């Protein structure tokens, strides 16, 4: 089992580039099912989740090839399968993204139910309800979603919750449906907007991308695209916290601040200097001490739940009390007990965590429980005294492209080791 080993206390200094966004790359790959040709994407991050998605598509008959760094070619001219098996879906919930486009293309899709997940129940009921409104017949059998629809028909869909992948799934199902679909209370996340842009480039007719109301007029056929995936706003935010927690000074290149307004606002409140330098990137300086700030996670443009754990790591060292409310997922405080093992003072009451800043953290062996929790433990480790060993590093590999390499290039003492090869490797 891989682990990340950090000797804390180094100040981060230098330049770093943000990779392509995981949550934009996965729906982009799913959208290729809607064309019968070769699509090409650049700035695709090399991640475990991208590899899982590649396996899912290859299992259906697609051919995916890396063509140099960050460039991926997807040939969907030979799709024959309709099944996303349990073995793949269980490792990544976002596998559900193939349901809508596969149904649109093949008239049939069989996708394993994602099931429970470490950060909450996370049902897919809204995906299924929306697809039924588009005319699909859906049964749940032996742990699988079995959907059929010889031809999907446009519909008026209201989402009870602005689900991100749900909006994406329904948008992909609707682009070639007969007639017009309106999705109300749609998710407005930049990744949803980017998927709409990709679909429009493929020839779809979508209005309202990035707003709460999407109007999709069905078209006959889509064509292949060449598209560059946007930078990962969550990776950018994570790097900003890394600079803040180590009192560093770093130029972060390739990040789009317009996608990070809530995060940047809160990090400035916490004492970070964040200055856009036009083409060059964003200068982040964290040498003024960390001030406490409250956050509440909300759908975009609110503070992203995917940055909550990292922000909490920063607040453990703030000069005061901060109140962190998680409103998106019901069980997303699993990093709390691990941060406490490093000396953090945090109390959880329901969906709220009260963080009482401490003067110092001390390195400890800790366990990653999910993707963003693992990032928060790495961040805490950067600031802690002594050695932190974050086990189950595969969580980090799911969504961060070489985070330890990037942090090391900025001066952090961090490396990945294989714990199975013996504890002496840590020496
Ligand atoms: C996506 C992101 C994930 C992020 C999350 C919230 C991807 C691949 N993943 O996940 O990184 O943390 O958005 O910003 O883009 N819900 C239902 N029924 C449904 C669907 C969702 O009740 O059918 C609930 C969920 O349990 C959760 C809330 O809606 O409480 C938001 O979830 P959702 O936006 O669907 O998250 P994902 O799309 O899974």
Distance 321 CA to ligand 1 centre (A): 29
Q: How far is CA 198 from CA 203, 301, 329, 349, in A?
A: 9, 21, 28, 42
In the structure encoding, which two tokens stand for residue 209, read together?
């991308």
Distance 425 CA to ligand 1 centre (A): 39
Distance 210 CA to ligand 1 centre (A): 16
Give the residue among 359, 54, 368, 119 at the shortest CA–CA distance from 377.
368
Question: Taking the CA of residue 343 as centre, how many other CA atoms within 13 Å lie in the half-sphere pointing to its CB?
Answer: 16
Cα 232 to Cα 44: distance, rounded to the nearest angstrom: 10
In the structure encoding, which two tokens stand for residue 363, read together?
């390195």
Residues 6 or more apart in contact with residue 124 via CB below 8 angstroms: 96, 113, 114, 145, 166
How many CB atoms are located within 10 Å of the residue 279 CB?
Answer: 6
Mutation probe of ligand 1 site: the residue of 50, 164, 232 with most atoms within 8 A of C-beta: 164
Cα 20 to Cα 5: distance, rounded to the nearest angstrom: 25
Closest ligand 1 atom to residue 306 Cα is 12
Distance 166 CA to ligand 1 centre (A): 8
Give the residue among 325, 381, 376 at the shortest CA–CA distance from 354.
325
> 């890396």: which residue's tokens?
66
Give the residue among 379, 391, 369, 392 at the shortest CA–CA distance from 119.
369
Distance 90 CA to ligand 1 centre (A): 16
Burial of 90 (0-12, 13-18, 19+ CB in 10 A): middle
> 């063509």: which residue's tokens?
67
How many CB atoms are located within 10 Å of the residue 273 CB?
Answer: 15
pLDDT in tens, the chain (427 residues): 899 999 999 999 999 999 999 999 999 999 999 999 999 999 999 999 999 999 999 999 999 999 989 999 999 999 999 999 999 999 899 999 999 999 999 999 999 998 645 555 678 999 999 999 999 999 999 999 999 998 999 999 999 999 999 999 999 999 999 999 999 999 999 999 999 999 999 999 999 999 999 999 999 999 999 999 999 999 999 999 999 999 999 999 999 999 999 999 999 999 999 999 977 899 999 988 999 999 999 999 999 999 999 999 999 999 999 999 999 998 899 999 999 999 999 999 999 999 999 999 999 999 988 999 999 999 999 999 999 999 998 899 999 999 999 999 999 999 999 987 554 445 4
> 């409104």: which residue's tokens?
133
Mutation probe of ligand 1 site: the residue of 165, 191, 238 with most atoms within 8 A of C-beta: 165
Give the residue among 422, 367, 371 at the shortest CA–CA distance from 389.
367
* Cβ pair 175, 199 in contact under 8 A: yes
Handedness of CA 37, 38, 43, 45 (dihedral sign): positive
Cα 337 to Cα 172: distance, rounded to the nearest angstrom: 39
> What residues are in contact with ligand 1 under a 6 Å CB criterion?
23, 26, 93-94, 120, 122-127, 161, 163-166, 191, 305-306, 328-329
396's enclosing H/E stretch is helix 394-399
39 catalytic per annotation: no
Question: Taking the CA of residue 371 as centre, how many other CA atoms within 13 Å lie in the half-sphere pointing to its CB?
Answer: 20
Closest ligand 1 atom to residue 125 Cα is 23
Take atom 12 of ligand 1 and give the residue whose Cα is closest.
306
In the structure encoding, which two tokens stand for residue 45, read together?
């991050």
Closest ligand 1 atom to residue 129 Cα is 23
Cα 241 to Cα 251: distance, rounded to the nearest angstrom: 13
Cα 22 to Cα 49: distance, rounded to the nearest angstrom: 8
């Amino acid at each position: 089992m891989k682990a990340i080993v950090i000797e804390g206390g180094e100040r981060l200094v230098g330049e770093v580039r943000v990779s392509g966004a995981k949550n934009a790359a996965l729906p982009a790959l799913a959208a290729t099912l809607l064309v019968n040709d070769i699509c090409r994407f650049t700035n695709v991050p090399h991640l475990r989740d991208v590899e899982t998605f590649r396996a899912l598509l290859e299992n259906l008959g697609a051919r995916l090839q890396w063509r140099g760094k960050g460039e991926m070619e997807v040939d969907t001219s030979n799709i024959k399968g309709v099944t996303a098996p349990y073995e793949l879906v269980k490792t990544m919930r976002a596998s559900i993204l193939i349901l809508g486009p596969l149904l649109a293309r093949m008239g049939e899709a069989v996708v394993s139910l994602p099931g429970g997940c470490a950060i909450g129940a996370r049902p897919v009921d809204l995906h299924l309800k929306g697809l039924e409104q588009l005319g699909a017949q859906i049964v749940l059998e032996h742990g699988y979603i079995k959907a059929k629809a010889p031809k999907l028909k446009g519909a008026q869909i209201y989402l009870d919750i602005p689900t991100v992948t749900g909006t994406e799934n329904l948008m992909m199902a609707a682009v070639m449906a007969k007639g017009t679909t309106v999705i109300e209370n749609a998710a407005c996340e930049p990744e949803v907007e980017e998927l709409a842009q990709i679909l429009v480039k493929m020839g779809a007719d979508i209005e309202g991308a990035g707003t709460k109301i999407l109007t999709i007029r069905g078209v006959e056929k889509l064509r292949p695209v060449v598209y560059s995936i946007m930078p990962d706003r969550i990776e950018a935010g994570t790097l900003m916290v890394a600079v803040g927690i180590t009192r560093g000074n770093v130029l972060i290149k390739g990040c789009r601040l317009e996608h990070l307004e809530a995060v940047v606002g809160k990090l400035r409140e916490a004492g970070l200097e964040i200055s856009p330098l036009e083409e060059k990137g964003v200068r982040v300086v964290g040498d003024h001490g960390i001030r406490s700030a409250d956050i509440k996670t909300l759908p975009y443009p609110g503070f992203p739940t995917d940055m909550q754990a990292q922000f909490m790591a920063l607040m453990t060292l703030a000069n005061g009390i901060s109140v962190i409310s998680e409103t998106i997922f019901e069980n997303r405080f699993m990093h709390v007990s691990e941060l406490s093992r490093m000396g953090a003072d945090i109390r959880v009451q329901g969906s709220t965590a009260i963080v009482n800043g401490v003067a110092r953290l001390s390195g400890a062996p800790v366990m990653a429980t999910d993707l963003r929790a693992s990032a928060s433990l790495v961040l805490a480790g950067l600031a802690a005294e002594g050695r932190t060993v974050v086990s189950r590093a595969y969580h980090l590999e799911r969504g961060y492209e070489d985070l330890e390499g990037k942090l090391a290039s900025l001066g952090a003492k961090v490396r990945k080791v294989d714990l199975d090869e013996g504890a002496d490797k840590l020496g």
